[in-house]
Chains A and B, each alone.
Chain A
Amino acid sequence: MSRLENREALKKFRDAIKAGRQQSKKKLISLCAGSGCGAYGTAKVHQALTEELSRQNLQDQVEIKLSCCHGFCQKGPIMVIHPERIFYPQVKEAHVPELVEKTIKNGELADSLIFKEPGTKEKIVHEQDIPFYKLQQRVIFGNNSLIDPTNMEDYLAVGGYSALEKALFDMGSEQIIDQIKGSGLRGRGGGGFPTGIKWETCSRHEGRRYVICNADEGDPGAYMDRILLEGNPHCIIEGMIIGAIAIQSQEGYVYVRHEYPLAVTNLEIALKSAREKGLLGNNILGSGFDFDIQISRGGGAFVCGESTALMASLEGKPGRPRAKYVHTVAKGFRDGPSNLNNVETWANVPLIINKGADWYSQIGTKSSKGTKIFSLVGKVNNTGLVEVPMGTSLRKIIFDIGGGIPKNKKFKAVQTGGPSGGCIPEQFLDVGVDYDELLKLGSIMGSGGMIVMDQDTCMVDVARYFIEFLKEESCGQCNPCREGIKQMLEILTDICQGRGKEGDIELLEELGSMIQKFALCGLGTSAPNPVLTTILYFRDEYEAHIRDKKCPAGVCKTLFHYDIAEDLCTGCGLCKKKCPKEAITGEKKKPHKLSQDACIKCGICYEGCKFGAIVIK
């Protein structure tokens, strides 16, 4: 691959790729190679597909693309056949011969493998007609199934690096900043700080300036940054180069978790091909502008997502936050002015430059512009990554796109904002999600994790879970956070184990507001949120634990037991067969009995009984 010496060369190169693809008569099979589908076995399907195609001598008529995540991770491995976009979910090796024979060779559908909508059981053939996709607005994710992250030509074929062209040759630093400011883009990493203003402030400070991408993504349950980086790395690179032009920086860093090896690999490949083409490095596209990006791998420390901790970590030190009397835009990494943005924030940048601030600011609400990618996970039918305009209601996301709660269970709460966020109950399902509305409910947007909880989730246990997480992740350098969180954990553990006392709830509230006021960094100041919101909305559950010594959801092991409701039990014998402790006895077709002494409360019988006869007491 030769270097592209100027704008014309890039244009020509892109046009040639596009033309080549338009002329190609090959069928395109896009097989999702994202980490979700990967965990379900994409590699095996890929191998089977390659073998089957060559067995049938079809390899020259078909192109297989191992693509970026399609978002519908629940149904992985996902296959989409272009141009019609025929959608096959949960493809197994064994399905491959039938798929090749019917759909590839004969142009028919493999009827039994077609997607069925979970609620209505309706069969839907095309990706674009499936509610999960139809109800989204995928301005960032739209091209995913056409992009193999290891092939830069795929990115160029969908117009990649045209925003860079525009920024380099048609716009100056000020104009870029104006566009970003005008778009209303706010940081997607949690706080929602206006991106354009951050860039402007940073560009006004003197010194060697740095552009940094925050791919630490420590918020458990959120994985859009991972997918963006491993699935469409050139889009992040393009965004960062534009940011560098805006703030006049020569050096960029991507700080990524060691736990995301595929993101690191794909980013390395993308950086290398961008350099070879002259899109990174010295004299980019002959413009005289120099900029390059390096990768820094962090490791297993949530607090390193915080800006000052991240920069300490980049310098090779333990990632402990510092007080922000001086902001990092003035004095950050190596004491230079440093502009840090989240992965998804960077992904929005090329879009804004290409389509303009006016176009962008039409999407979303008054205070929050654009789309947001949510990771819809937990107790929801369609788990995956969902991109919707800001302001979309929780109900639409969870029930219309997400398909509601599995096994007809009842929705209880949705947790947003990770360990810094809160749990939102049913009565607020019609609230449109944006930065400010979530804040009003005591939660935050955070990075966009949405963990759906059903009747079987204990809210006290959830609060305890987050506080335990934060206790382990606290860097320990300030007292309110270190000691306060420890005390909160002790109280919550007591409540969960049946040792709760009157006054505990009030004590938690008091500790919470103390930590919020006096902790040094964002980890501490937001740590009480999961506890305070669960107390606010689910106080009765706390009270049941403390007063009645009962866990209504059947999670806290010492506070409940399973039993068999005789009137509901049909005597099918399934639970007896599955119980690992032989705790269930009974004759076929007669109500069974459960021995409390033998039961270890593993929940297998409860999950398995089709008649709802195993009950929590």
Chain B
Amino acid sequence: MKNEIEIDWQKIDSIISKYDANHEALLMIMHDIGAIYNYVPRQVIPLLVERLGVKESLIYSVATFYKTISLTPRGKYIVSVCTGTACHVRGAEKIMGALEEKLNISEGQTTEDMLFTLDSVRCIGCCAAGPVVNVNKETHGGLDRSSVLEIINEYKRRAS
């Protein structure tokens, strides 16, 4: 099973403790867990229920409401194409198209080798450098069809 991964329970525990197990911090706790695995593994939900004293249904509704949380496994590199207005008028769609073609997946999907997830984000505040693409925490600006493909090759190289 893809989503039965090994969980570092100590790490999860220390994340929860960092926020004093405050139920108001649920979203941030899920962000931090997501930062480790690139998604929030379902196995951690019972622990969240227990430590934060919240209902399981709340966890699911929070996880589905906020786009920054994913309950399904995602690739090692999350490629987020900015589709904010400034990037849109500068051709973000063409960047997305080039990536879909290159990775052979559509927006929201993950490559079979679990290397790349293709995603969109609505403005990351680098509009002047638009169109921009975020790969995990790195931002690449001033892109066109060919330079964005270069970037993908670069990450492929890094991973191999």
Instruction: Report A's interface with B, CB cutoff 8 A.
Output: 35-36, 38-40, 73-74, 76, 217-223, 226-227, 258-261, 296-302, 313-320, 375, 377-379, 383-384, 415, 418, 449, 451, 453, 457, 462, 465-466, 469, 475, 580, 602-604
Contact = CB atoms under 8 A, between A and B. Distances in A.
**Closest 3 pairs between A and B when the two form their complex, measured CB to CB:** A73-B128, A220-B84, A299-B68
Contact of B94 (A375, A379, A602): A602
A259 B85 contact: no
Contacts of B86: 220-221, 375, 377-378, 383, 449, 451
A44 to B, nearest CB: 12
Given A40-B141, A226-B125, A227-B125, A317 B58 contact: yes
Contact of B129 (A36, A220, A318, A603): A36
Contacts of A377: 85-86, 127-128, 130
Given A39-B140, A221-B123, A299-B67, A453 B89 contact: yes
Nearest to A604: B145
Interface string B60-99: 0110011111000000000000011110111100100000
A378 B85 contact: yes
B62 A318 contact: yes
B121 interface: yes
A223 B122 CA distance: 12
A318 B61 contact: yes
Interface of B: 22-28, 31, 54, 58, 61-62, 65-69, 83-86, 88-91, 94, 121-130, 132, 137, 139-142, 145
B129 A39 contact: yes
Contacts of B123: 218-223
A580 B98 CA distance: 11
Given A258-B31, A449-B85, A602-B145, A298 B129 contact: no
A39 B139 contact: yes
In this complex, which of B24, B88, B127 has the most chain A Cβ atoms within 10 angstroms of its Cβ?
Answer: B127
Nearest to B141: A39
Contacts of B130: 377
Contacts of B58: 316-317
B128 A383 contact: yes
B85 A297 contact: no
A76 B85 CA distance: 20
Contacts of B137: 261
11 contacts: A220-B123, A223-B125, A227-B125, A299-B31, A299-B68, A316-B62, A375-B86, A378-B89, A383-B127, A451-B86, A466-B85
Nearest to A465: B88
B139 A315 contact: no
A38 B90 CA distance: 19
A298 B24 contact: no
B121 A300 contact: yes
A300 B78 CA distance: 15
B27 A221 contact: no
Given A313-B27, A580-B145, 12 more contacts: A38-B126, A38-B139, A39-B141, A73-B126, A73-B129, A220-B84, A259-B125, A260-B124, A297-B28, A300-B121, A316-B26, A383-B127
A320 B66 CA distance: 11
Contacts of B129: 36, 39-40, 73, 76
B111 to A, nearest CB: 22
Contacts of B54: 316
A302 B65 contact: no
Contact of B126 (A36, A222, A604): A36
B66 A300 contact: yes
A73 B85 CA distance: 17
A451 B23 CA distance: 39
A260 B128 CA distance: 16
A377 B89 CA distance: 10
A258 B68 contact: yes
Contacts of A465: 85, 88
